[in-house]
Structure 1
Amino acid sequence: FWTTKNATPGKMVIGATIVDAETGEPPSLKQHVIRYIGYYLSAIIFCLGFIWVGFDRKKQGWHDKLAGTVVVRKKNKGTEPVKFGI
């Protein structure tokens, strides 16, 4: 699902997708692989990598930070909008 739809089934249900944090374009295969490996790192240490999402301004978990990706939704209620490029 990640490489073809840029989302998991759960993300598709809520209208979310994974994008490159710099450009807003779909992530590369390399970014998908790093993100997948990052899931394990995020989970191993008491799931702190996933809990981090609740405290991060861009709502990125450790796996997103490692891969340079971000999950965006069509409606961002109460969160800072993602700005691509600087």
Structure 2
Amino acid sequence: PPPPPAAPVFAPAAPPAPAWAPQAAAPAPAWETPLSELETAGFWVRFAAYLVDSLILGVAMTILIVPAMFVAGRFLLENPGLMMLLYLVVMALALAYPLWFWATSGQTPGKKVLGLKVIREDGVEPLGWGTAGMRMLGYVVSGMILYIGFLMIGFSKDKKGLHDIIAKTRVVKLV
């Protein structure tokens, strides 16, 4: 008779893994970190976010204004009242851009790209229109005083500009 087949040689099966394995806790996302622990963004990263927003706004305005000038250029030049109206519309759009993003999410596209967010000191989110409006008022005042309100960010220990102080806000790093 032939010999019986040899038993297969395999290592014993590993015991099944537990349904859950203990893991080291991941750091809390920035939005779950207490406000007091978020790092305040400094002057240069905030300036870079401003440049990104300026580029976006400049391209959008060019797309709107250049065709209007081709179509109605001479007419606008001959009607200063209409030219002033166009100027006011452009200014309103330039002011509406940051206001909308601050009020609804605390992040303009430039701030979002650079991982920054405007938050209220009291932690209420989103900023809302009142706080966003106060922040814009601070921007206007800073512009009137030779941008000193913006330069304060680089020289104050709490990295706040005049607009942050007026609106009781901070710009924080989310990353």
Query: Do they fold alike, i.e. is TM over 0.5?
Result: yes
1:27-66 alignment runs, 5 A limit: 27-66=127-166
For the residues of structure 2 that align with 1:31 and 1:19, how far apart are their CA atoms?
10
- Alpha-carbon distance in structure 1 between the residues aligned to 2:124 and 2:159: 15
> Gaps (5+ residues) in structure 1?
76-86
- How many residues of Structure 1 are paired with residues of Structure 2 in the alignment? 75
* Alignment counterpart, residue 13 of structure 1, candidates 113, 117, 135: 113
SS at match of 1:33: helix
* Number of the residue aligned with 1:79: none
Structure number with higher helix proportion: 2
Q: Secondary structure at the match of 1:58?
A: coil
Greater alpha carbon shift after TM alignment, 64-73 vs 26-35: 26-35
Which deviates more, 15-24 or 56-65? 15-24
Distance 1:35 1:45 in 2: 16
Q: Aligned equivalents of 2:168 and 2:121: distance in 1?
A: 5
Structure 1 runs, 4 residues or longer, greater than 6 Å off: none
Provide the alpha-carbon RMSD of the alignment: 1.5
Contact 1:18/1:70 (8 A) holds in 2 = yes
Q: Comparing both structures, which one devotes a greater share of its residues to strand? A: 1
Give the structure-1-normalised TM-score. Answer: 0.77
Is this contact kept in 2: 1:18–1:26, CA < 8 A? no
Identity %: 37
| SS in structure 1 at match of 2:117 | strand
The alignment partner of 2:171 has SS state of: strand
Distance 1:22 1:4 in 2: 16
Which of the numbers 168, 171, 175 marks the counterpart of 1:68? 168
